[in-house]
């Protein structure tokens, strides 16, 4: 596999770097201001320099010199900089919006390193923010900095991720490479429901399968059924044995190099939530709970509202988007056949973090890190297509599902 050099800005816990590493990208440097996120990144990427300083106080030229990289040599700058405050069409807002200044910091590093490629990830809502002007400004800024760029909205299940998650991906290439080949093509079929703006400058930017005979999506059961059973509130040993041998290709891939299961402890549900979950079948939700057991506000709700709240996930379907809390009040986070919520490890599996990836901090902080991450398998798919666009095809990914 060809290897490429990269840095990751606004790196979070390292989901993007994890996937890119599997696609042949070597992380030289990462910047993440939040302490626990940076600790998790360092724990799993010990070969990478991790910098916890405020990026506004970091001298990009000194970082480039420290890495021994000349301007133009780096292959990729990747990251998830806050973009929503950036707009050349709203100078008053831009001047006062801290997020805008953070995106300018990302561009500052791009100027100093002038990498062969730039990768930016964000939420789908970026496309409609300020009527599309923010996205237009980002693409225009990349062009001004020497990059041909484009944007796609990718659906994670199309790339082997077992949850309904969408990400906006912006890629910029210099030196006249084919920008269209830099975006990955879906490799799996999955039910799609688009509930956001999917058109930009008159064209649909949601990447959909262009082949009919693709394998189906990875289900929740496919993803987590080999993990140990737990009672509500059970913690157990730090390192636990798997419940079964790997049952499928996904589980085998997630377990490569693993000695056992970590970050797998059941948060304790309250007595009222235990009563609620006892009424919910697999695939069911709050509408299966007797009205008198519902929170007061939900007792007045229409039965068509809040369809994912207090959901027990369908084992044969996709999980809800993994958020920063696996709180059943906000989605389908009850296990399909165990009366409890998802553990950090189960949430991490649904995000496609390998079992060797460990999360630092308290359980609350671990859930937050998982929920805010880019799914590594999605990042790996982007990495492979980027590598192709950069002129070196990677020869398959060990964990490609």
CB-CB contact of 125 with 151 (8 Å):
no
* Full DSSP string of 72-89: TT--EEEE----TT--TT
Helix (H, G, I), strand (E, B) or coil at 223: helix
Q: Do β-strands 25-31 and 49-51 pair in parallel, antiparallel, or remain unpaired? A: parallel
Dist CA 313 CA 299 (whole Å): 22
DSSP letter (8 states) at residue 341: B
Closest by CA to 58, choosing from 113, 6, 109, 8, is 109
Helix (H, G, I), strand (E, B) or coil at 240: strand
Give the residue numbers marked as catalytic: 83
Dist CA 388 CA 7 (whole Å): 19
* Full DSSP string of 102-163: HHHHHHHHHHHH--SEEEEEE-GGGGTGGGGHHHHHHHHHHHHTT-EEEEEEEEGGGGT-SB
């Amino acid at each position: 596999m060809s290897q490429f050099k990269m840095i990751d800005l606004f790196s979070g816990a390292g989901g993007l770097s994890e996937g890119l590493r599997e696609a042949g990208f070597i992380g030289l440097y990462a910047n993440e201001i939040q302490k626990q996120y940076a600790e998790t990144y360092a724990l799993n990427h010990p070969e990478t320099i991790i910098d916890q300083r405020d990026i506004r106080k970091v001298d990009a030229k000194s970082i480039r010199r420290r890495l021994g990289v000349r301007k133009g040599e780096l292959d990729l700058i990747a990251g998830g900089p806050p973009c929503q405050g950036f707009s050349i069409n709203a100078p008053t807002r831009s001047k006062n919006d801290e997020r805008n200044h953070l995106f300018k910091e990302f561009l500052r590093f791009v100027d100093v390193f002038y990498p062969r490629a730039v990768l930016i990830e964000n939420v789908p809502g970026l496309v409609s923010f300020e009527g599309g002007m923010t996205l237009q400004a980002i693409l225009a800024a990349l062009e001004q900095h020497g990059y041909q760029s484009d944007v796609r909205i990718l659906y994670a299940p199309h790339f082997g991720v077992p949850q309904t998650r969408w990400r906006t991906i912006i890629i910029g290439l210099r030196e006249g490479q084919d920008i269209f080949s830099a975006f990955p093509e879906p490799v799996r079929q999955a039910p799609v429901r688009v509930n956001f703006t999917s058109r930009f400058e008159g064209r649909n930017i949601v990447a959909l399968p262009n082949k009919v005979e693709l394998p189906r999506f990875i289900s929740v059961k496919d993803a987590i059924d080999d993990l140990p059973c737990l009672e509500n509130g059970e913690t157990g040993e730090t390192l636990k044995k798997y419940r079964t041998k790997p049952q499928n290709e996904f589980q085998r891939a997630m377990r490569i190099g693993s000695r056992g299961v970590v970050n797998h402890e059941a948060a304790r549900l309250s007595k009222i939530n235990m009563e609620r979950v006892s009424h919910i079948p697999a695939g069911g939700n709050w509408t299966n709970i007797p009205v008198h057991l519902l929170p007061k506000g939900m007792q007045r709700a229409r039965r068509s509202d809040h369809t994912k709240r207090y959901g027990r996930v369908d084992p044969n379907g996709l999980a809800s988007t993994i958020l920063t809390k696996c709180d059943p009040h906000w989605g389908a986070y009850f296990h399909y056949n165990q009366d409890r919520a998802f553990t950090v490890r189960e949430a991490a599996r649904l995000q496609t973090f390998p079992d060797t990836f460990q999360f630092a901090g308290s359980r609350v902080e671990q859930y937050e890190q998982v929920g805010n991450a880019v799914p590594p398998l999605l990042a790996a798919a982007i990495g492979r297509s980027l590598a192709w666009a950069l002129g070196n095809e990677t020869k398959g990914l060990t964990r490609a599902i």
